[in-house]
Amino acid sequence: MRTPCELVVKLVLPAFRSLVAKTLIEKYHFSQVAAAQKLGTTQAAISHYVYSKRGDKRIKQMEAIPLIQSAADEIALGIATEKFSSFDAMLKFCGLCRDLRTQNLVCELHKDFLVVPESCDLCLDTQKTA
């Protein structure tokens, strides 16, 4: 059994972090070390992201979702221009997660891993209490 939140942490967050890292390196000319420091990860993880050694299929899936790509671009810009702190970036990601749940994108991902009843509204119910 995997909860929707667990899937976001295990699947969406690494792919999202990869998109931000690639943007920082390719568009804003950050080194892998600098990108890793800003994203709170290791240079080795950034190298895997850049050379698509880890999670490439999931990354392409996430890139295809305009909401995710625009959030990655916004966070990369905020980091590159020093307008975002690590906390600001975290808040943006939490907002993205909320939006993904509200638009049933997390639900679709969840259905790939678990038989979910058609009547399930966990993601929408979570938004009412968040």
Alpha helices in 1-130 (DSSP H): 4-7, 13-26, 32-39, 43-50, 56-63, 66-80, 86-102, 105-111, 122-129
Ranges of each domain in the chain: 4-129
The pLDDT assigned to 124 comes to: 64
The reported pTM is 0.79
Per-residue pLDDT of the chain (130 residues; tens, 9 = 90+): 677 778 788 878 888 888 999 999 999 999 999 999 999 899 999 998 888 765 667 777 777 888 889 999 999 999 999 999 888 988 998 888 888 878 777 767 766 666 767 777 766 655 444 4
